[in-house]
Amino acid sequence: MSTIDKFQDHITKGYTFKGDSVLLGTAMLDGEAIEQLHISAPLKTFNRHGLIAGATGTGKTKTLQNLAEGLSDKGVPVLLMDIKGDLSGLSQEGKPHPKIDERHAKIGVPWVAKSYPVELLTISEEKGVRMRATVSEFGPVLFGKILELNDTQSGVVSLVFKYCDDHQLPLLDLKDFRLALRYLSNEGKKEIEKEYGRISSASVGAIMRKIIEIEEQGADLFFGERSFDVNDLLRQQGGNGYINILRLVDIQEKPKMFSTFMLCLLAEVYETFPERGDKEAPKLVIFIDEAHLIFKEASKTLMRQIETIVKLIRSKGVGLFFITQSPADVPSEVLGQLGMKIQHALRAFTAKDRKAIKLAAENYPLSDYYETSKELTSLGIGEALITVLNEKGIPTPLARTLLKAPYSRMDIITSAEFKRALKESLLVERYNDEIDRESAYEKLTKKLEKVAKDQDIEVKKSRTGSRSRKKDPSFFETASKNTMVRQLGRTLVRELSRGLLGVLGVSASTRRR
């Protein structure tokens, strides 16, 4: 048997599956594509997570687009993190091109222009269906981890949540939490000391600074109502799963905001979706582009949380795919959980690059037909080294693959097409109306105003008898103290309002820009 025959037999056995699968492309040997020697990924193993890696310009985004299309065709909804802004073309049919026809002739499957049902989402100032979550939904543990607090500071956050829960003070947005924290460290200090414990002013100051830090990255746009229901990511249309595109073009310089959102979303999905084990198809697949933004700014505590969710969320039928330039961008604890690996070309310009390529090659199965480290530097655009898990959870043989072209548009949509997509959306009306119902901020503001009013009445009563007690030093001392308390109360209300309105003012001006 010739080498090519042995290779074909090797690949055919490795990539033949009983159940449904998603076509990726056709296998290559010695730089040449072998027609009809198809490389696919079993649909049922997409909840075992995956990695798409490669240098800039090697075709990672098109591979992501291909996988999203393949899953949608099988009725599986997906969520894409669109940081570069070039995935909206999934909503429009692709345009034929001679190079596409040439590629698909080598693969042995026809290319057909097709559009997909798309929902455009946002957590920032980008236009789209707004995704929000309340502070209460985060809970004290997750909220404390996002702020990167120490144990003492996290205890203060838990105390604030407990007090607000006990007194029916909803924590909906950041201004609710900030005012509750300031109230409990000032006017409400005596009220809570016996039942809840004392709050350190140093801890309060540290927490406030952390909140300001995430506010400056746009968190005030994310926290609030109406909360996004993750079940709305699971819709279908005409047998196709919805492709939900989260537009994050303006988030690259806000890694804290991005990691905050991702952790919240994954936690919400894990808590909301029921256990389902390994089914014939996943329930949802999430693609996280520029994944290094999550891991680069994550604290050790946050990293442990992410690692835990990656390990557990597959039992909910949810797959996670990380898209980045190098496998080294993903922590080894997470990388070891990824069943599908699609590796585009890497560039070797420096000694550091060559070392990274050698390490990357070690992430893939040994092969009698490829010298992995050399293949990594010789892959063309739209080619990749691929290994997936078969239906028994065993890694398939490594295959250099000529990838198929996306059926949808490989470019962004026009402004007119974007407006039409939002107009046709069934979710815009539900989530884009701003809601500001009575919450902790309004209730505590009323309480502070009542305190100030009671103090005014008390001072007026004390002034009524001032003429008969002008020479009494103790009286003047008392009145002076009462006046001081009253001024402190008024100052507190004024300063709190000024600080919070200042935040809102910045947000409003930013929105106008």
The top-scoring range by mean pLDDT among 79-93, 288-302, 427-441, 487-501 is 79-93
Question: Poorest-confidence range of 138-142, 300-304, 316-320, 385-389?
Answer: 300-304
Does one domain contain both 204 and 234?
no
In this prediction, residue 480 carries a pLDDT of 39
> In 10 A of CB 445, how many CB atoms?
16
Between helix 174-185 and helix 473-512 the angle, nearest 10°, is: 160
Percentage of the chain surpassing pLDDT 70? 86
pLDDT at 477 over 50: no
Does one domain contain both 388 and 267?
yes
This prediction's pTM: 0.82
Choice between 286 and 446, residue whose per-residue pLDDT is larger: 286
Given a contact cutoff of 8 angstroms between Cβ atoms, the answer to whether 510 and 125 are in contact is yes
Does one domain contain both 215 and 183?
yes
Does one domain contain both 241 and 330?
yes
Does one domain contain both 396 and 333?
yes
**Long-range Cβ pairs for the range 32-37 (8 Å, 24+):** 33/106, 33/107, 33/402, 34/4, 34/7, 34/8, 35/106, 35/107, 35/108, 36/108, 37/8, 37/11, 37/12
Q: Would you say the C-alpha torsion 305, 306, 307, 309 has a positive or negative sign?
A: positive
pLDDT at 255 over 90: no
CA 492 to chain centre: 36
Does one domain contain both 194 and 309?
no
The Cα 506–Cα 496 span in angstroms is 16
Domain enclosing residue 480, as ranges: 135-222+438-512
Give the pLDDT mean for 246-253.
80
In this prediction, residue 447 carries a pLDDT of 74
Residue where a domain stops, chosen among 431, 458, 479: 431
Residues 6+ apart with CB under 8 A from 115: 90, 91, 92, 93, 408, 409
In this prediction, residue 395 carries a pLDDT of 95
Residue with tokens 């991005």: 258
Give the pLDDT mean for 405-432.
92
Residues 6+ apart with CB under 8 A from 323: 51, 52, 53, 60, 61, 64, 287, 288, 289, 290, 291
Residue where a domain stops, chosen among 367, 396, 431: 431
Residue where a domain stops, chosen among 373, 401, 431: 431
Give the pLDDT mean for 93-113.
96
Does one domain contain both 468 and 408?
no
Question: 26 pairs with which residues across the strands?
Answer: 38, 402
Number of domain units in the chain: 2
In this prediction, residue 33 carries a pLDDT of 96
Choice between 364 and 497, residue whose per-residue pLDDT is larger: 364
Choice between 423 and 495, residue whose per-residue pLDDT is larger: 423
In this prediction, residue 18 carries a pLDDT of 92
> In 10 A of CB 194, how many CB atoms?
8
Does one domain contain both 111 and 257?
yes
Q: Would you say the C-alpha torsion 443, 446, 450, 452 has a positive or negative sign?
A: positive
Give me the CATH number covering residue 351.
3.40.50.300
Closest CA to 487 of 451, 461, 441: 451
Does one domain contain both 190 and 276?
no
Give the pLDDT mean for 365-377.
92
Does one domain contain both 49 and 189?
no
The top-scoring range by mean pLDDT among 266-275, 286-295, 465-474, 504-513 is 266-275
The Cα 330–Cα 338 span in angstroms is 10
